[in-house]
Structure formats: structure tokens, C-alpha cells
Chain A
């Protein structure tokens, strides 16, 4: 008995003194159901995806016959074109104009949608009054407003802002309404048992409770706004990224068109990142951990 014991001890000499050996779980497969992904790993995979996308694009470019290659320029050519446009054609001003249109129209849309969604989420009768109309308006394609806006406002900046506004405002209202409706009933009720009146409940309970989700809805909807940009700037285009692209189309300058698409993509990603960073600053309670 004793000798067997001491034998075990000599064999596991190193571990006997300290902790038990680390347990090695089975290696996680790449496609593991509900597997785990570390921060670095996630970052690397993301970069890999982007590289793969541009790689496939580049391969397609080289597989295209030389005579047709101008219809599918390579990544380098498109990026170079953005650079050249900025240096030679005042492209920054177009970008600035587009960004201005997106943000102003979206800001005005939020100015209407947030209070309306909040009030509809808090007061059932208001919801019954307004929601069916909003629900219907959501199905109207924004592009179908183009002729109407041209008749009303002509080829003005206002017409473009109006189109971008119409493109997102109804969806925004519907999303924000949902965000407010998903505030737990008990939060409202506990405020009521504290003696809170209606104004307090709307502004100091329902709104802050729904705010993180509202910002998320805004982040998703501004992405939709970006997708309407080109349509908006087709309306008697003079400036903006969409205008640059439409002009290029007339001369079959595919590299400029693709430069425009890529620019919008990059600006979209930057917008998304801005919203995510804003969320971290505005709602620290959502991101604090023990």
C-alpha cells in the first residue's frame, strides 16, 4: 500500500507539489456549433474576409479578357481612381456634399421619428391612430417619390434631402415604436408605484430604457439611407458621389462608378463604427462588466 503510494508520488512528482495538470479540452473545430471566438481571432477572421473579397475581385479582373478589362477594373485601379478623383476633380467636395445630405436628412428624420415612436409606444390610442398609416407608408418605394419631388421642388438640394428623409423615416418610426414597446412592463409599473406621472414615465423611464435599442435602430436605418443616396442624387445631379457616378456612366467610365460604390461602402462602414462608438459613450451601463 505504502510502496504503491510512493510510486505514484514519484511519477507525478512535479504536479504533486503544485496544481493538478491543466485539462486539455478536445480541440475546437473551425465549424463548432456555438463555438467560441477570441477578440484577436475575430479581428483576424474579419480582415481575412475582406482580403478574400478583394482577392476574388482581383482574380475576376485578371480572368477578364484584356479588351474587356476596362469594364471590370482591378482593386488597385479603383482605389487609385478614388485618389485621382480627390486630387484632380475635387471629389472631396462631392463626398462632403453626400455626407451632408445623408446626415441632415437622417437627423431630421430622427427628430420626427424618435418623439413619435416614443409617444406611440407609450400611448395606445395614439398608436391606434397613427400606426396603420405609418405601416402603409412604409410600403411605398422611396424611388417612386422622385418624379413627385421633381415637380414640387425642382432639381434642388431640398428635393434630394426630402427623398432621403422619406426613404427612412417611416421605417425608423416603426422600429423605434417596437423598441419602446419592448421596454418591460414592470419598469413602467414600478415607476408608477413610485408616484411617477405620465411626463416623467415617458421622458425619464420609457425613453432611457429604450434608448440603446433606439440608437441601434438608427444605426441600421442610416445604412438604408446610404443605399438611397445614388437614387437621390440622380435627381438632376450636379454634385455628390451619386452625381459623379451618373456622369461617369454616360462615358462608360466603369472605374469611376466602382470608385463611387467603394467610397459609399467605406463611408457606410465609418458611419457604422461612429454609431457603435457613440453607443459605448452614451450607454456605459450596457457595456460595464463585473
Chain B
């Protein structure tokens, strides 16, 4: 079973790295090949993710953005190079990197509250504390009234909110979002995006978001990493300077911000280059 000493040493190693100024995530010349090299999802990618920022990974389908996120999560390993979390090489998944998947991952046999408490249970957090934190995060994702419901009773958007609350409740240093709204309709996606802004403002997490939605990336991110189609490389590393460090609780307020249209146009043009490259 879990060895509590082991966890604490690992955590303290991360804290140590953080204090020494190591970035939350550092990818060192990462290459990821599949099927013996016939697919190169990532090709010699080096990048640092900055603390307390929202970094969006964006690019055409199959560009390796999800692959990079899965390497960061520790669910897969690179073919070449390495990925570090606060200077420590990643040797598998860990609770300091909470993840929300595109597929619904609420455990159907647990009610909403038990789902949110599950990660904390794994970490042996006392019951009182678990309940307190579950309550807090359920409130934050507007699900307080559904704490005793089963996932089967929830809509797709609500299930994703459970997943977000569950990931936050394990108190990760990094929140990894893998196209979390990919299966939701446009209106629900919009609501979820604004909710994410609320959460980022109050929780101060380092967030890495994989998305194929240009507007979503601009709205949520402080920095966008644009990936080329296979073999995946970073085509552009764009800081959202036009937002002047602000985040907008209402999406429409962003749309009228000077510089927004130019940013969107630039990203669409980059996307077109990548897609047309594939067709020709």
C-alpha cells in the first residue's frame, strides 16, 4: 500500500525544487514516437511552463498536444529527452498533477461528494478535512445541491464539473485539462469556460489546457503554445499580452478588447497553414 513517508519526501523534493526556482514543468528535447517511429507525435520539443499561469496547448488534430499533456501527467513516457516537474524527473502519475479528461471519468458507483473525496481518500486525508474541502469545491463548481446524486443523474457539463472539483480537491500544484469541454455543446462550454476563469482567479494554480478551440485558448490562457502538425513541434509561443494580465469573468468583455481580433486572426491563419500543409 501507500507509504506515507515516501509521499512526504516526494512532496518535499518538489517544494525544494520550487524554492530553488525550478519551473513547474520543463520539457527537455522531448521526442515521442509511436508504432516504432512511423508516427512522430512530438519532435525534439523543449519548453518551460511558468508558475501560476494558464498555458494552452493548441494546434491541428494529431499535432501531439495531448501527447505532451499525457507525458506531463506521467501516463506515458517520452521516447527521447525527459520531462521534469519542479526539477524532478517524472516517473509516473502523481497527485501533485491533477488531470481532467475529455471522457467522463466520474466513478459511476460513487455519488458526487464521494467522487470529489476520492483523491483525498487516496492521500489519506482525514474525514473532517475531506468533507470540508469537498464542500468548498462543490460550491465552486456550482454543484452543492447535487452532492448526493449519482453521476448517471447528471448532464455532461455537470459530470465535467465533478471531474474538475475532484482534481482540485486533491490539491494539485498543476491542473492538467485535456480538452475538458470537447464533448459539451457550445453554450455549456461557454459556461464552463467562465467557471474555469472564476476558479483560476481564486485557486491560483498552474494550469495546462489542451484545446483545439482558438477562442477558448485566447479566453482562458496567459500563454499559447501552438503546435505544428505531425511531427509535432512548437510553431509559436505566444504571450497574451493584449489582455494586460487581466482575466475576464464575462467572455464578451474580452471580445471587445483591443488586440483580441488580431490575436484570433493570427491563430486562425496559423491553423490554416497547418491544415493546408496537410492537404497539399
Contact = CB atoms under 8 A, between A and B. Distances in A.
Interface of A: 184, 186-187, 189-197, 199-200, 205, 208-209, 211, 283-286, 288-290
Contacts of B1: 197, 199-200
Contact of A285 (B119, B152, B163): B152
Given A194-B122, A197-B1, A186 B105 contact: yes
Most buried by B among A190, A193, A200, A286: A193
A186 B93 contact: no
Residues of A contacting B: mostly: helix
10 contacts: A186-B104, A189-B99, A193-B75, A193-B97, A193-B98, A194-B118, A200-B2, A205-B107, A284-B150, A290-B153
A190 B122 contact: no
Contacts of A288: 150, 152-153
Given A190-B99, A190-B163, A285-B150, A209 B122 contact: no
B107 A208 contact: yes
Q: What bracket does the count of chain B residues touching chain A fall in?
A: 35 or more
B160 interface: no
Contact of A209 (B108, B111, B167, B176): B108
Contacts of B170: 194-195
Interface in B194-215: none
B109 A192 contact: no
A205 B98 CA distance: 17
Nearest to A285: B150
Contact of B101 (A189, A208, A209): A189
Contacts of B74: 192-193
Contact of B109 (A196, A199, A283): A283
B103 A184 contact: yes
A208 B118 CA distance: 14
A209 B73 CA distance: 23
A193 B111 CA distance: 20
Contacts of B108: 209, 285-286
B153 A209 contact: no
B23 interface: no
B123 interface: yes
A187 B118 contact: no
Closest 7 CB pairs of A and B: A195-B95, A194-B119, A190-B105, A193-B99, A192-B93, A285-B150, A186-B103
- Interface residues of chain B: helix, strand, loop or mixed (majority): loop
A91 B144 CA distance: 59
Interface string B115-133: 0001100110000000000
Choose among A190, A192, A199, A289 the residue with the greatest number of B CB atoms under 10 Å from its CB. Answer: A190
A288 B150 CA distance: 8
B62 interface: no
Interface in B1-19: 1-2, 7
A211 B2 contact: no
B75 A192 contact: yes
A290 B99 CA distance: 28
B96 to A, nearest CB: 8
A286 B122 contact: no
B78 interface: no
B109 A208 contact: yes
A194 B99 CA distance: 8
B240 to A, nearest CB: 27
Nearest to B102: A186
Contacts of A289: 152-153
B151 interface: yes
A58 B111 CA distance: 52
B73 A193 contact: yes
Interface centre among B75, B167, B176, by most A CB within 10 Å? Answer: B75
Given A193-B73, A194-B170, A200 B152 contact: no
Nearest to A201: B122
Contacts of B99: 189-190, 193
B101 to A, nearest CB: 5
B58 to A, nearest CB: 22
A283 B108 CA distance: 10
A186 B123 contact: no
B81 interface: no
Nearest to A196: B122
Contacts of A290: 153
Nearest to B100: A190
A283 B107 CA distance: 13
Contacts of B119: 194-195
A186 B107 CA distance: 10
Nearest to B7: A195
B94 interface: yes
B94 A195 contact: yes
Contacts of A199: 1
B188 to A, nearest CB: 17
A194 B95 contact: yes
Nearest to B103: A186
Contacts of B95: 193-195
